[in-house]
Structure 1
């Protein structure tokens, strides 16, 4: 697992467009796991901290927060915008760690296991994939 900062230092050319996708719009889609192991998708917002972490918030007693406290695995799909694929399609996965909060709401630090950005370049599908173990790879498909 890696913090956002560790990912950004390891793959800055991938981190910049992924961050752009995450900051281009406010709302994204989070996938968590229910008690029975089936997936749940929820709307969510993320924030980048000055210390180089990626955080996610959840209202008190929201199901996504309960899911993450029980099973920290998540997948996050950045809002794709207007559907033009401008800037690419960004997806992240990893584990969420609860953070202490002053109020009733929940907050989580996101540790990254995988970051993917899919774009279309010259009629090719370009998939840029990063993991802490293998670094950055690129796959091109016609």
Structure 2
């Protein structure tokens, strides 16, 4: 598992692509496991804080309760076009609640960046990244995939 900083060191090209896709909307889709075992997909806000991918959410939101119960998750860039040319960034990992002694620093940093701060309690998680991928399609039917762990080379396949 890797922090965001470690991911950037181990897979710089892939981390840069993921960051660009995530930053394009500043919103991610978070996949968690509900109490009954079914998947839940929810939008969530994110930042890179002290070298870690951090997700923030409403206090006691179902997605946060899912992560507290089972930290396994998937993170996906938001997609707005079915052709796949914009690319999809995907991460798989485990969520850890932000340590209590780091919370005030986190909120101060978020406020300095955005001018916003939660008025009450909120959930903040950091993500330990286990694997990642970026997939994009071209107009000629080629699919390109870059993945980590991996050798840093694009895998190209042709469809259709």
Q: State whether TM-score is above 0.5.
A: yes
Match of 1:127 among 145, 156, 159: 145
Q: Deviations over 1:22-69 (max 9, x none)?
A: 1110222111011121111111111112x2110001100100000000
Which is further off, 88-97 or 75-84?
A: 75-84
Per the TM alignment, residue 11 of structure 1 is displaced from its structure 2 partner at its CA by 1.1
Assess if the C-alpha contact under 8 Å between 1:17 and 1:87 holds in 2.
no
* Structure 1 residues not aligned, in runs of 5+: none
Deviating above 6 A after TM superposition, structure 1's stretches of 4 or more consecutive aligned residues are none
Q: Deviations over 1:53-107 (max 9, x none)?
A: 1000110010000000010000011112445544411111100000134541000
- Count of paired positions: 139
Counterpart CA distance in 1 for 2:54 and 2:151 is: 22
Larger Rg, first or second structure (1 or 2): 2
The residue number in structure 2 matching 1:115 is 132
CA contact (8 A) 1:21 1:80 kept: no
Q: Does 1:106 align with 2:123?
A: yes
Q: Does 1:68 align with 2:67?
A: yes
TM-score, length-scaled by structure 2: 0.79
Q: Does structure 1 residue 9 correspond to structure 2 residue 27?
A: no
Q: Bigger shift: 98-107 or 9-18?
A: 98-107
Larger relative strand fraction: 1
Residue aligned with 2:51, SS: coil
2: CA distance between counterparts of 1:115 and 1:42?
19
Q: Is the 8 A contact 1:76 1:93 kept in 2?
A: yes
